[in-house]
Amino acid sequence: MTGPADPGLPAPEPLDARLKRVLRFMPAPLGIVTSFDPESGQPVGLAMSALMPVCLEPPAMAICVNRSGSAHDAMLRAGRFCINLLEPGQGGHVVPFADPAARDARFTQSDWRQHVHHAHDGVWFIDDAPAAIFCTIRERLSFGTHDVLVSAVDDLLTSGSDDILGWANGALCRPAPLTS
């Protein structure tokens, strides 16, 4: 535990740097969150681990999006998005959505599809992903640099796989139950 500063010790790291280090090793599911620009119809997306279930009655999910991110404004204008959970063989989807230098490779893999359900026309998803969770934004909470988007789950496509990719220690991982 970090306590009061000792005059003989170097100053502790700033709180944000210490928290970033802790969050880096805290495991979380990893998803590619997709939407589209309603004016141009172009798909947008980002890789994120800031996603979580909210409740089952009614079914709801929340994501946390940086307001300076390239997908933020289009996602809000569209009012809907898809959380694509990935299985280990789909790790190649991450780099184009996590690295701005690889942006041109987004939506180029052959397993991308557009949803045809009337409420989610235009939203792209990964065919055969363990889960493609289609959501409509219901609440927006702004805090610091991010918006928390609480969203109703409108549709769900699953491959039947429960082997998903996660993020921990700054790298992809496979969360798995502990065995005795």
CA 97 – CA 159 distance, rounded (Å) = 22
Residue 180 lies in a domain: no
Q: What is the mean pLDDT of the chain?
A: 89
- Report the candidate in 90, 59, 56 with the shortest Cα–Cα distance to residue 159: 90
Instruction: Give the predicted TM-score (pTM) of the model.
Output: 0.86
Where in the sequence is the domain holding 100, given as residue range(s)?
A: 29-49+69-137+152-161
* Whether pLDDT at 6 is above 70: no
Mean pLDDT of the region 40-69:
95
| Residue owning tokens 């990719």 | 165
Is 70 exceeded by the pLDDT of residue 9? yes
Q: Is the pLDDT of residue 133 over 70?
A: yes
**Token digits for 86?**
């990935």
Q: Residue 99 falls within a domain, yes or no?
A: yes
The token pair at 28 is 């979380």
Query: Around 87, how many Cα atoms within 13 Å sit in the side-chain half-sphere?
Result: 15
| Total length of the chain | 180
Res 164: pLDDT: 87
User: Where residue 78 falls among pLDDT bands split at 50, 70, 90?
Assistant: very high
CATH number of the structural domain spanning residue 119: 2.30.110.10
Q: How many domains does the chain have?
A: 1
pLDDT at 154 exceeding the cut of 80: yes
Q: Is residue 15 part of a domain?
A: no
Beta-bridge partner residues of 56: 59
CB 173 within 8 A of CB 30: no
- Among 77-81, 88-92, 170-174, the range with the most confident prediction by mean pLDDT is 77-81
> Would you say residue 131 lies in a domain?
yes
The pLDDT of residue 120 is: 66
Look at residue 71 in the predicted model and tell me its pLDDT.
Answer: 93
Q: Facing residues of 84 across strands?
A: 32, 132
CA of residue 21 relative to chain centroid, distance: 19
